[in-house]
Amino acid sequence: MDKFDAIVVGAGPAGCASAYTMAKAGLQVLVCERGKYAGAKNMWGGAFFGPQVENLFPNFRETAPVERFVSRHVVSFLTETDSLSLDFKTSAHTHQGFITLRAKFDRWLAEQVEQAGAIVATSLGVDDLILEGSRVKGVKGGAEEFPGDVVILAEGVNSLLTQKAGLGKEFSSPDLKQGVKEVIRLPRAVIEERFNLEGDQGAAMEFVGACTRGLPGGGFLYTNRESLSLGIVVQLSELVAKRLKAPDLLEEFKNHPLIREWIRGGELVEYSAHLIPVSGLKRMPRLFADGLLVAGDAASLVLGTGLILEGANFAMASGMAAGQTVIHAREKGDFSEAALREYENLLMKYSVLQDFHTFRQAAAFLENERIYKAYPAWACEAARKIFSNDGRPRRKTYQVLREAMRGKFSLFQLFSDAWKARKAI
């Protein structure tokens, strides 16, 4: 083949979504994946929210390696010994959330891409871009060159090609969180009994407070069919400043009384670590240039608001938008920056960029250390006082709450943070 219509770098959700979209439309597509197989080098907590997968694969529920469908959401505030949780339950399948494992899910995605007619080349790292002036005309992998009308960079957070193309700058530690995760095997019956689940129901749990020693970030736990995905995500700059290691924090998290009981008797079967871009619009690269589009983590399309962390769904949406942009550009025979600007419009249409603008202040707000230290301690102490009976006359709840604030934060700080939260999240 003289050249491909499109070359995709990376076989994660963004890359596969773009390749599948284009291959289904009859384009000749090459996907370059550095790993030995799609998903080999990916770390993911495991919960996928949003309609993107179903939009692209209407029958995915019958064929995709879904572990469970999320029917229970839990947000917990932790001290070293206590926890206070908000537990929301709903009927399964009603809000399009499911739990999966990336090593399985990405392989399935790559299979769909190949069945649609694209070539997925694993163990093929891309080292550079082919340029004619400022226009991208393909990629270089080792000693080989692969010409193409357009290149879609879905290379993940270590976006070296995006930087080489001059679209983005190298991330610094304040722009990143480090995630570490373990997969812990447990019998299916044990998981369903401990987490009050039935059939294909699943639980998605987030934790704030002692799980990160009060550093910006949090913990997570997702129930798979016969295992648990357990991990933490911590601000990288704070780990460096405090000279802490994320794996050590994960070990402490596993020994918290709440978590220790849930994972009791489990067997560690997998460990992984990953960097996550968290600065939103502040560090988002330029998303298109002559013959080039950027999608997924490479485009910093990860959004955290404190209650939700969205990335995989945005990756899929950006891949679909990139694929559709290339299809339209090919119809016009124009792969210039002006023609590829449609990509940005489609990201707005799919609500991806809209959400980033809506929550543009969230990243700065979530740097407030009171969220991770003072407020979890306050919540747990107040709950302990409210639910305890020492034989003395009870006080009104607001009095208990005020007393539990003492030494942690002022009423002014509480109202100030509440006002900032209203604007940010």
CATH number of the structural domain spanning residue 143: 3.50.50.60
Residue 358 resides in a domain: no
Is 291 in the same domain as 341? Answer: yes
Does 93 reside within a domain?
A: no
- Averaged pLDDT, 88-92: 77
Query: What angle (nearest 5°) sits at the alpha carbon of residue 173, between those of residues 168 and 179?
Result: 105
Torsion of CA 133, 137, 139, 142, to 10 degrees: -70
Average pLDDT over residues 214-220: 94
381 and 309 in a single domain? The answer is no
Q: Check whether 231 has a pLDDT greater than 90.
A: yes
Closest listed residue to residue 371, CA positions, set 216, 186, 241: 216
* pLDDT greater than 90 at residue 84: yes
pLDDT-derived band of residue 46, with 50, 70 and 90 as boundaries?
confident
SS3 state at 194: helix
pLDDT-derived band at 25 (thresholds 50, 70, 90) equals: very high
H or E segment to which residue 129 belongs: strand 128-132
pLDDT interval class at 1 (50, 70, 90): low
Res 95: pLDDT:
55
Whether 399 has a pLDDT exceeding 70, the answer reads yes
Q: Which pLDDT does position 57 carry in this prediction?
A: 94
Rounded to the nearest 10 degrees, the angle between the axes of helix 13-24 and helix 102-115 is 20
Q: For helices 312-332 and 13-24, what crossing angle results, to 10°?
A: 30
Q: Is residue 110 part of a domain?
A: yes
The answer to whether residues 225 and 255 belong to one domain is yes
Confidence bin at 347 (pLDDT 50/70/90): very high
85 assigned to some structural domain: no
Are both 268 and 289 inside the same structural domain?
Answer: no
Residues 307, 75 contacting (CB under 8 angstroms): yes
DSSP state of 284: P
In a shared domain, residues 182 and 164: no
- Looking at the fold, whether 61 and 121 belong to one and the same domain comes out as yes
pTM assigned to the model = 0.92
**Among residues 297, 315, 350, which one ends one of the domains?**
350
321 shares a domain with 187: no
- In contact, 121 and 110? CB cutoff 8 Å: no
Please state the rounded mean pLDDT for residues 323-340.
97
Residue pLDDT, tens place only, 155-211? 988 888 999 898 988 888 888 999 999 999 999 999 999 999 999 999 999 999 999
pLDDT band with cut points at 50, 70 and 90 for residue 94? low
Rounded distance, CA 154 to CA 165, Å? Answer: 13
At residue 222, what are phi and psi to the nearest 5 degrees?
A: -125, 140
What residues make up the domain containing 303?
A: 4-65+102-169+285-350
DSSP string, 27-89: --EEEEESSSSTTTT----SEEESSHHHHH-TTHHHHS-EEEEEEEEEEEEE-SS-EEEEEEE
Higher-pLDDT residue of 91, 354: 354
Tell me the C-alpha distance between 183 and 266, whole Å. 9
The amino acid at residue 102 is R
pLDDT score, position 291: 97
- Is the pLDDT confidence value at 227 over 70? yes
Number of structural domains found in the chain: 3
Whether the Cβ atoms of residue 208 and residue 371 lie closer than 8 Å to each other: yes
pLDDT of 93: 57
| Mean of pLDDT values over 338-367 | 92
Question: Is residue 91 domain-resident?
Answer: no
The yes-or-no verdict on residue 96 having pLDDT over 80 is no
Q: 13 with 115, same domain?
A: yes
- Does the pLDDT at position 142 exceed 90? no
The answer to whether 188 and 343 are in contact (CB under 8 A) is no
